[in-house]
């Protein structure tokens, strides 16, 4: 029986592992190895790294830090969680694990455009996913936003902080409403008249809509981001309508002993907030185990 099983080895899970290890708790961290950190060419808003840091380097440093305090790392996917008399039972492909408490730090999954050159375009800064993270780097550029879900046009509004040239494109099922079109006009956002056709990566991003073909310095796809909350959903924990896990002030879900932190929650998907939430959760888990 472990004190805590942490599911997910991104910034949230690894921060909690470091804290709980330093509280001398027996912890196991199970990770499927798909942290969104791996996709970040360079992040410049992580506190303490004024010259920026690649997501891969940050992940390696956080893994090193957590392992120094005794976290046991298991590679794999947790397939189901069951409630038991003393805590929880986790089912992995070839194993089961019992733990008094569980921290869900499974992150979220982006809906991405279908483009063969996607990773190269990310590395070149032609495609970006998060204006809060890197809108600063897109300053004064000719920016396109591609909306694929209701309300996606809000991302174009945010990007007006950085550039006068912001155009909004939309997929078939995400046509802006009349009110959104009016607000976009008032805020100097150009909106494509018909749905987007083809996307192509060359020296720039080429977008076809109707008969028009235009090029842009950077494209922000805004097609959706799904919290990976199947495990907590199956257990019957409360969720927001958008899919994220709901937690209280100490990051405990509606199920006692089951905590959550990071992008799996409804809220700001950022490294700093994932780490902060995990720190709060780790202290609450430690206090609960003491009690």
Ligand X SMILES: Cc1cc2nc3c(=O)[nH]c(=O)nc-3n(C[C@H](O)[C@H](O)[C@H](O)COP(=O)(O)OP(=O)(O)OC[C@H]3O[C@@H](n4cnc5c(N)ncnc54)[C@H](O)[C@@H]3O)c2cc1C
Could you list the residues that contact ligand X (CB under 6 A)? Answer: 7-13, 30-37, 39-40, 43, 45, 77-78, 105-107, 110, 122, 129-130, 133-134, 228, 231, 262-263, 269-272, 274
In the complex, least distance from residue 127 CB atom to ligand X, rounded to whole angstroms = 8
In the complex, least distance from residue 255 CB atom to ligand X, rounded to whole angstroms = 17
Q: Which of residues 18 and 270 has its CB atom nearest to ligand X in the complex? A: 270
Q: Which of residues 26 and 226 has its CB atom nearest to ligand X in the complex? A: 226
HSE, CB side, 13 Å, CA atoms: give it for residue 150. Answer: 4
Q: Which of residues 189 and 281 has its CB atom nearest to ligand X in the complex? A: 281
In the complex, least distance from residue 58 CB atom to ligand X, rounded to whole angstroms = 9
- State whether residue 250 is helix, strand or coil: coil
**How far, rounded to the nearest angstrom, does the alpha carbon of residue 98 sit from its chain's CA centroid?**
27
Q: Which of residues 167 and 232 has its CB atom nearest to ligand X in the complex? A: 232
Q: Which of 120, 115, 68 is nearest to 221 (CA)?
A: 115
Q: Which of residues 105 and 146 has its CB atom nearest to ligand X in the complex? A: 105
Q: Which of 123, 52, 156, 100 is nearest to 285 (CA)?
A: 100
The token pair that represents 208 in the structure block: 């076809």
Q: Which of residues 184 and 280 has its CB atom nearest to ligand X in the complex? A: 280
In the complex, least distance from residue 182 CB atom to ligand X, rounded to whole angstroms = 32
- State whether residue 191 is helix, strand or coil: strand
Q: Which of 23, 11, 100 is nearest to 56 (CA)?
A: 11
Contact 100/87 with Cβ under 8 angstroms? yes
Q: What angle do CA 245, 247, 253 make, to 5 degrees?
A: 80
In the complex, least distance from residue 252 CB atom to ligand X, rounded to whole angstroms = 17
Contact 137/166 with Cβ under 8 angstroms? no
In the complex, least distance from residue 67 CB atom to ligand X, rounded to whole angstroms = 15
């Amino acid at each position: 029986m472990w004190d805590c099983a942490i599911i997910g080895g991104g910034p949230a899970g690894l921060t909690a592992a470091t804290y709980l290890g330093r509280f001398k708790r027996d912890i196991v961290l199970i990770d499927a190895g798909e942290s969104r950190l791996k996709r970040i060419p360079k992040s410049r808003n992580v506190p303490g790294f004024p010259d920026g840091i690649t997501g891969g380097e940050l992940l390696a440093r956080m893994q090193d830090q957590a392992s120094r305090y005794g976290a046991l790392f298991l590679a794999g996917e947790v397939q189901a969680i069951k409630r038991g008399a003393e805590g929880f039972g986790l089912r992995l492909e070839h194993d089961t694990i019992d733990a008094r408490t569980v921290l869900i730090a499974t992150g979220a999954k982006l809906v991405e455009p279908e483009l063969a050159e996607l990773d190269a375009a990310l590395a070149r800064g032609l495609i970006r996913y998060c204006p809060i993270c890197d809108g600063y780097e897109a300053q004064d550029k000719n920016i396109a936003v591609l909306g694929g879900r209701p309300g996606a046009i809000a991302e174009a509004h945010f990007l007006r902080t950085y550039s006068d040239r912001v155009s909004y494109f939309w997929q078939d099922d995400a046509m802006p409403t009349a009110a959104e079109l009016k607000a976009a006009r008032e805020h100097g956002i150009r909106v494509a008249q018909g749905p987007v056709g083809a996307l192509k990566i060359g020296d720039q991003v080429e977008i076809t809509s109707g008969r028009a073909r235009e090029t842009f310095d950077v494209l922000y796809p805004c097609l959706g981001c799904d919290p990976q909350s199947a495990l907590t959903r199956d257990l019957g924990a409360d969720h927001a309508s958008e899919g994220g896990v709901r937690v209280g002030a100490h990051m405990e879900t509606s199920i006692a002993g089951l905590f959550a932190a990071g992008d799996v929650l409804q809220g700001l998907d950022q490294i700093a907030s994932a780490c902060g939430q995990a720190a709060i959760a780790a202290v609450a888990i430690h206090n609960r185990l003491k009690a």
